């Protein structure tokens, strides 16, 4: 096996944390991106159209598949990636997924589950790493409401946010190991009510925006209320939300 690694989504939140770790581990890294080539790591390509994919996959020993778009496109993109990799020497495919994709009924989660099935049923050696929400997602939930008089969070819902850098460290270990199939899930260090996390965000910015918990409808929120996206038994991350906010 070569130490050439292809990272799809290497320009995204998780990918930007993973690529430097792989480089410092001594791997040669290719970053698949639809954007024009900006450095020697970038391989221009598009999972949806298939443009540049065969060249990017050629000769790699491991693919870490972090790319994501809207859910449905992920299925087509993952299918294209698997097809191309199957014709190119069957590298180890590591797919990043989300804790609870089979338990929380949301379109994006259904698409992620469908991608997992494609990976499992492929003839490639594979590993799937599910993680909980990244800290940045909680921040986004707050900042997207910054023009409102208050931040509204779903009542009865908790999150277990994890640091993307720590997820990247877990992926870097998987890159250096043989395929394991479903890897143990990875969650953040604390399970905390959504409103509690939002208040921590407001405090960290010395803001005054009140945070209110409101009952929200829908099957996805019900799945969240039931804790389908949580893995307290895998509270492996060490960096708390407050530590992330302070950094
Ligand atoms: N964010 C979370 O809280 C969270 C939690 C658990 C699991 N995950 C999973 O972790 C993975 C990474 O998430 P993220 O938040 O880091 O993603 P992100 O920041 O939204 O980045 C998405 C990436 O996908 C790439 N991409 C999208 N469509 C593409 C296409 N057609 N062809 C090639 N590349 C494409 C983009 O690259 P270019 O724009 O450069 O082309 C970009 O690098 C995803 O699988 C996600 O489901 C995320």
pLDDT digits (tens, 9 = 90+) for 141-159: 999 999 999 999 999 999 9
Mean pLDDT over the full length of the chain: 96
Task: Determine if ligand 1 sits within 6 Å of the CB of residue 115.
Answer: no
Give me the mean pLDDT over the 52-73 stretch: 95
Report the nearest-CA residue for atom 24 of ligand 1: 67
Give the Cα separation of 72 and 109 in Å (integer): 10
Query: Cα torsion at 219, 224, 228, 234 (round to 10°)?
Result: 160
Q: Which atom of ligand 1 is nearest to the CA of 15?
A: 16
Residue 1's pLDDT is 42
Ligand 1, atom 38, lies closest to the CA of: 33
Q: What angle do CA 6, 97, 231 make, to 5 degrees?
A: 135
Atom of ligand 1 nearest to the CA of 11: 43
Domains and CATH numbers, the chain: 4-246 (3.40.50.720)
pLDDT tens digit string along 100-122?
A: 999 999 999 999 999 999 999 99
pLDDT of residue 36: 86
Q: For residue range 161-210, what is the model confidence (pLDDT) as tens digits?
A: 999 999 999 999 999 999 999 999 999 999 999 999 999 999 999 999 99
């Amino acid at each position: 096996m070569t130490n050439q690694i292809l990272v799809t989504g290497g320009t995204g939140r998780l990918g930007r944390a993973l690529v430097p770790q792989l480089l410092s581990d001594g791997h040669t890294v290719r970053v698949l991106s639809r954007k024009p080539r900006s450095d020697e790591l970038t391989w221009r390509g598009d999972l949806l159209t298939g443009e540049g994919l065969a060249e990017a996959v050629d000769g790699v020993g491991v693919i870490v598949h972090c790319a994501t778009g809207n859910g449905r496109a992920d299925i087509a993109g993952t299918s294209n990636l698997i097809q191309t990799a199957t014709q190119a020497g069957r590298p180890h495919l590591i797919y990043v997924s989300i804790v609870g994709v089979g338990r929380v009924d949301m379109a994006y989660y259904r698409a992620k589950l469908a991608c997992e099935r494609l990976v499992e049923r492929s003839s490639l050696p594979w590993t799937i790493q599910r993680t909980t929400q990244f800290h940045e997602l909680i921040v986004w939930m707050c900042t997207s409401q910054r023009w409102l008089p208050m931040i509204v969070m779903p009542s009865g819902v908790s999150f277990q946010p994890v640091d993307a850098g720590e997820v990247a460290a877990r992926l870097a270990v998987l890159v250096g190991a043989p395929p394991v199939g479903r890897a143990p899930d990875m969650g953040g260090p604390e399970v905390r009510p959504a409103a509690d996390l939002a208040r921590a965000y407001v405090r960290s910015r010395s803001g005054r925006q009140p945070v209110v918990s409101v009952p929200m409808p829908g099957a996805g929120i019900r799945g969240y209320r039931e804790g389908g996206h949580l893995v307290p038994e895998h509270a492996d991350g060490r960096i708390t939300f407050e530590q992330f906010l302070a950094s």
